[in-house]
Copies of this chain bind each other. A is one copy, B any other.
Amino acid sequence: MPYVNIKITKEGKVTAEQKAALIKGATQLLANVLHKNPATTVVIIEEVDTDNWGIGGESVTERRKL
């Protein structure tokens, strides 16, 4: 019964199909590697504004301008 939380920047449009692929892929990964039961594996995707995500001391918004 693993719990997987995926945080990504909100850039371009992430489609429902892509989100479904992340959910399916993460669930299979836990089943393949650790034999975890897919039925109780929870995956939560969070999309974060580029102003709110920092790396290297600056926001992704700033980095994308470079």
Seen from chain A, the residues whose Cβ lies within 8 Å of a Cβ on chain B are: 1-9, 14, 16, 18-30, 32-34, 36, 38-48, 51-62
Contacts and interface: CB of A to CB of B under 8 A. Distances in A.
Contacts of A20: 51, 54, 58-59, 62
A4 to B, nearest CB: 5
Contacts of A48: 44, 46
A60 B19 contact: no
Given A8-B36, A44-B53, 20 more contacts: A1-B9, A2-B6, A2-B7, A3-B7, A3-B44, A8-B30, A14-B34, A21-B32, A21-B33, A22-B54, A24-B58, A25-B32, A26-B26, A27-B56, A38-B56, A39-B56, A40-B56, A41-B55, A41-B56, A44-B54
